[in-house]
Amino acid sequence: MTIISIKTGTDEEQKRIELSDGSLFSFRLCYLTDFSGARLSGISIDELAGGVEISAGEADAFRFAATCLRAERAALRLAARAEQTMMGLSRKLERRGFNGSHIQPVLLRLETLNIINDRRFAALWLQSRLVRRVESPRRLLAGLRSRGISREDAEGALKSVLTFQTESALLRSYIEKSRPAPGRSGIVSLKYRLKGEGFSAEVIQDYWEEQEW
C-alpha cells in the first residue's frame, strides 16, 4: 500500500492522509507514535510523505490513530457541555461505539491537558450538593466514589471544600434535620452518630462547647 498524500492542518499535530486503497482520514500524531509504535515499526514520522510504501500493519496504525481522533472529538463535545469524570466519560464513549484501546489514550491526553480533572469535578459536585442537600461528609464521600472518583481525589476535594466554617454549618443543618432524641442518652448517641458520619472531631467539639446540655 502507498501513501498518496499527507497534509498538515492548522494544528501541527493533526494530519490528513490518503492511501492507495482509497482511504482518506485524519489522525493525531500522538496517537500514532505513543500507542501504535509496534505497528509502525517500519516507518518514522519524518518519512511520512506521498509515494512512501507502507505495510498492512502500518496502515492499521494510521487507522487506529484516526479512530482515537474521532473518540477525542466526541469526548471534547461532551466536555464542552459539562464537567466530566474519567470513568463517566469512558462509559459515554463506549456507548458511542468506541472500545477501550481507543478510549484510554484519549482520556490520558485530555487529563494531561487538564480538560478532564477528577478532583476539579469532585470539588464542583460537592459545592453544588452542599447548596441543594444536607448530607454528612461520609455520604458526600460515598457519592463521589460512586461516580468513579478515586478515594485520594475524593478525600482531597472534600478537605478543600469543607473548611471549618463550612463543616460547622453543615453539622448544624445535619443535627437540625436528624432531630436527636432528648435526654443524655440521645445526646451521647448523637455524638457517636456524628463521628460515624465523618464529621471531624474539631467541629463536633466546637459545637458541643457552645451548647447548654
Over the stretch 123-144, which tens digit does the pLDDT of each residue have? 999 999 998 888 999 999 999 9
Q: What is the reported pTM? A: 0.79
Q: What is the mean pLDDT of residues 50-78?
A: 90
Average pLDDT, the chain: 87
Q: What is the mean pLDDT of residues 64-69?
A: 94
Which helix (H) or strand (E) segment is 206 a member of?
A: helix 201-210
* Residue 63: all three cell numbers together: 487507522
Backbone phi, psi, residue 181, to 5°: -65, 145
Say if CB 63 and CB 55 are below 8 A apart.
no
Domain boundaries, the chain: 3-112, 118-210
Please give the pLDDT value at position 191.
82
C-alpha distances out from residue 33 to 10, 15, 155, Å: 20, 13, 36
Please give the pLDDT value at position 190.
82
Which of 34, 27, 32, 22 lies closest to 57 in space, CA to CA? Answer: 32
For 76-119, write each residue's pLDDT tens digit.
999 999 999 999 999 999 999 999 999 999 999 999 999 999 99
Please give the pLDDT value at position 53.
83
Residue 186 in this model has a pLDDT that exceeds 70: no
Residue 4 in this model has a pLDDT that exceeds 60: yes
Q: What is the mean pLDDT of residues 160-170?
A: 93
| E strand residue ranges, the chain | 3-8, 14-19, 24-28
Please give the pLDDT value at position 35.
57
**Architecture field, domain 3-112:** Orthogonal Bundle (1.10)
Residue 166 in this model has a pLDDT that exceeds 90: yes
Q: What is the mean pLDDT of residues 156-176?
A: 92
Residue 200 in this model has a pLDDT that exceeds 90: yes
**Helices and strands per DSSP (H, E), number in the chain:** 10, 3
Rounded CA gap, 169 and 84, in Å? 28
Fill in the amino acid letter for 122: A
Three-class secondary structure of residue 53 per DSSP: strand
Rounded CA gap, 210 and 129, in Å? 27
Q: Can you tell me which residue has the cell 469532585?
A: 122
CB-based contacts of 41, cutoff 8 Å, min separation 6: 57
Q: What is the mean pLDDT of residues 153-170?
A: 93
Residue 181 in this model has a pLDDT that exceeds 80: no
Please give the pLDDT value at position 38.
45
Say if CB 194 and CB 137 are below 8 A apart.
no
Q: Can you tell me which residue has the cell 496502515?
A: 59
* Residue 96: all three cell numbers together: 458511542
Q: What is the mean pLDDT of residues 132-159?
A: 93
Rounded CA gap, 150 and 122, in Å? 10
Provide the pLDDT confidence category of residue 155 given band limits of 50, 70 and 90.
Answer: very high
Residue 193 in this model has a pLDDT that exceeds 90: no
